[in-house]
Structure 1
Amino acid sequence: MYTGKAAPDAAADRGWLLGHFKDPADPRHSEDVEIKWGVHPKGEERARWVRGEERTALQVLISGRFRLEFPGRTVVLAEQGDYVVWGRGVDHSWYAEEDAVVLTVRWPSVPGYRADGPDGPANGPSGG
């Protein structure tokens, strides 16, 4: 069992609360699903588009305003509880139009995904 608070716990792992990247002895370790408590200041954007996505994702707006970009489509999460689901193979990026908090659930939890910046890999526990 593990109890915690999303904001401080998420800060320890770039927002991610649960997934394959947690120590296997930690109850938050999972190879089936990843969960992120994403706190994004206004103007923050994903460093690079996610290309060749291997997971399905659900993103729910907790507060603020958050824009997701998909090929040929833009989705704006503007009211608490707005959400979007996308599947494998769907390229995407995001931008915080206002200070925003979003809950992201991705499955399965796939090692090797990370966005470190312009020269880093395109996906990752930092992405969404």
Structure 2
Amino acid sequence: MNIHSTISVQITRAIQVLLTTLLLLTSPLSLAHDKGHDVSTNAAWEYIEQGATVIDVRTAEEFAAGHLAGATNIPFEDIVAGVSKLELAKDSKILLYCRSGRRSGIAHESLVAAGYSDTLNGGGYDALAAKPVTAN
């Protein structure tokens, strides 16, 4: 292979990587994903105060050890079926949380893929539990 062919192959690969990255960053699931991750505790509490259904996606044992008042326990691996049983509209506000935000992120992505359009990953339980609800 000559130098021109090698450079051409490298440029083609670089363009493919850039296009793939751009596609992933602008896909509908990725855009919804942005809403689902890395929110502040204050933003999560604002969502709760706006009437979001609060779902703890940890295990039943973790939930029993402590959870947010009014939260429903649906383990992350059962989130779509569990939310379906709650008979929530696809545009209902749903706030998800777990221990660290990882499982609630997975649950968020599952709900978005199932057509739920207003879900939010609230992150970790400890951070949420430390922030008291403000009176209006």
TM-score where L is the length of structure 1: 0.32
Report the structure, 1 or 2, having the larger helix content: 2
Computing the radius of gyration over CA atoms, which structure comes out larger, 1 or 2? 2
